[in-house]
Amino acid sequence: MGEFNHLATLTETIKTEELLGRLFHEEEVTLFEPQNDCFKCTCSRELCDDVLSTLPPEEVDQILQEDGEIDMHCDYCSNHYVFDSVDITAIRNDSAAGYQQVH
């Protein structure tokens, strides 16, 4: 990590003229129009349903027994998706119906 810090310290002192005149003088520079950044998380309750349907039923039942609900939290957008035993039964029924339609 010491080498990185040393390099970071050195690059803080580089002037634009040095970058373009000595280091990258043979490179063509392209300036793009500025764009607004927009973050959009792709999490959804349906994706959480899919994940829960892949877990062993014993694990899901144990969590429900201990906590009374399953709270899935998205670390990107901070949404919470809460599932109780009724939700889990519906997910299992949907999964079973989907399995029967495929096979």
What digits encode the pLDDT tens for the residues 53-101? 999 999 999 999 999 999 999 999 999 999 999 999 999 998 877 655 5
Q: Is residue 73, in this structure, part of any structural domain at all?
A: yes
The sign of the CA dihedral 37, 43, 44, 45 is: negative
Q: Is residue 46, in this structure, part of any structural domain at all?
A: yes
Domain holding 39: CATH number? 3.90.1280.10
Q: Is residue 102, in this structure, part of any structural domain at all?
A: no
* Domain encompassing residue 8: 2-90
Q: Is residue 18, in this structure, part of any structural domain at all?
A: yes
The set of residues, in sequence order, having a beta carbon less than 8 Å from that of 64 and lying 6+ positions away, is 70, 84, 85, 88
Question: What's the predicted TM-score (pTM) here?
Answer: 0.57
Q: Is residue 50, in this structure, part of any structural domain at all?
A: yes
The tally of domains found in the chain comes to 1
Tokens of 50: 């899919």
Q: Is residue 103, in this structure, part of any structural domain at all?
A: no
* pLDDT tens-digit map of 14-26: 887 777 777 666 7
**Cα–Cα distance, 1 to 8 (Å, whole number):** 11
Give 12 or 68, the one with higher predicted confidence.
Answer: 68
**Cα–Cα distance, 49 to 68 (Å, whole number):** 17
Instruction: Report the pLDDT value the prediction gives residue 96, as an integer from 0 to 100.
Output: 75
Q: Is residue 71, in this structure, part of any structural domain at all?
A: yes
Tokens of 94: 């949907």
Q: Is residue 47, in this structure, part of any structural domain at all?
A: yes
